[in-house]
Structure 1
Amino acid sequence: MVPVDDLDRIMAVMITAFPPDYGEAWNRRQVGDALLIGRTRYGLIGADGGEHPEDAETTAGFFLSRSIFDEEELLLFAVAPQYRRRGLGDSLLTRFIAQARAAGMARLFLEMREGNPAGNLYSKHGFQPIGIRPGYYRSTSGERIAAISQELRL
């Protein structure tokens, strides 16, 4: 079970990192429930780049993933806006991939909203588009936006 203070750290980033226009952010219960499932893991990164931020205010980002057999899906990946463009997302994604590789994962997956700027980071790390879900996301204005499924073979 995830320590309550780590759940607080994840939620502090969540409320600032995901634009409310697309409904991508999860609520506290969704995150907590996901972490109760076996083979789900998370990672944190502090504003200083360390893996163990002191508190919610110094937590810059997180990832949440789940695996089955030799495949892992990156469910959530976020860096708080005030900590972006410092290489923290790159460091966090590098760590996620390294840990997956060390755990024997053969393939990693993620889905992202079409036009999400994080796509550049995912591409830099070798993720390749493998499919599109038309109209998967709906903005608060009613606009339908595709989800891009991506894969990284390890």
Structure 2
Amino acid sequence: MTMVAHPYPDCLAKGELDDLMTIMEDSFEPRFGEGWSRSQCSGMLGDRNSWVSITSEEGEPTGFALSRMIVDEAELLLIAVRPAYRGKGIGAGLLQQVCETAAAKGAKRLHLEVRDGNAAANLYQASGFQTIGRRKNYYRGGNGERFDAITLSLQLDRETV
């Protein structure tokens, strides 16, 4: 697996936004309303406080994580692994990289939201994230269904991440 981390969004190589969108389209079911549009991703990547990591295997994009800093806290905005590549540790590797980059940038905590019932919650819990809240009906799926978001947080200024 190859992982390319871009600490600044303007470092994206030509085609990497295309790779990110390929991963996005394969990874998020429209039913849950979690995936972002190309313009949303492009807009976030224009923010100098954001960064993205993209993984690939044999030239095929496999996963990405999009994060940002806000003062001394970081937020994992999106993380995705294409279904054909799940179960290989890609998501865990991306999450570890986000934690390390956030800590190196001075973040004391990392926050994220996950749809209630999303299998990724298991990864977050295994990585030490704690539930700190719930947002009722936060996600709106393609058919109008509503889903709660669980808010999680991880203390980064500890000995092991």
Shared topology, TM-score over 0.5? yes
Name the count of aligned residue pairs: 146
Q: Distance in 2 between matches of 1:45 and 1:17?
A: 14
Equivalent residue, structure 1, for 2:90: 88
Does structure 2 conserve the Cα–Cα contact (< 8 Å) formed by 1:67 and 1:73?
Answer: yes
Does structure 1 conserve the Cα–Cα contact (< 8 Å) formed by 2:54 and 2:64?
Answer: yes
Q: Distance in 2 between matches of 1:80 and 1:127?
A: 23
Q: Distance in 2 between matches of 1:12 and 1:145?
A: 24
Deviations 1:73-109 (A, max 9, x none): 1111000000001111111111111111122110100
Counterpart residue type for residue 35 of structure 1: L
Q: Is 2:127 the partner of 1:125?
A: yes
Equivalent residue, structure 1, for 2:51: 41
Q: Distance in 2 between matches of 1:129 and 1:3?
A: 36
Equivalent residue, structure 2, for 1:17: 27
The offset of 1:138, in angstroms, is 2.3
Q: Is 2:39 the partner of 1:29?
A: yes
Counterpart residue type for residue 109 of structure 2: R
Can you give the 5+ residue segments of structure 2 that lack an aligned partner in the other structure?
Answer: 1-9, 157-161
> Percent of aligned pairs with the same residue?
43
The offset of 1:24, in angstroms, is 1.1
Superposition TM-score, scaled by structure 1 size: 0.90
Can you give the 5+ residue segments of structure 1 that lack an aligned partner in the other structure?
Answer: 49-53
* Secondary structure of residue in 1 paired with 2:15: helix
Deviations 1:49-87 (A, max 9, x none): xxxxx3xxx111000111111101111100000000111
Superposition TM-score, scaled by structure 2 size: 0.86
Q: Distance in 2 between matches of 1:150 and 1:122?
A: 8
* Secondary structure of residue in 2 paired with 1:126: coil
The offset of 1:40, in angstroms, is 0.6
C-alpha RMSD over aligned residues: 1.3
Equivalent residue, structure 2, for 1:109: 111
Q: Distance in 2 between matches of 1:128 and 1:112?
A: 12
Q: Is 2:67 the partner of 1:65?
A: yes
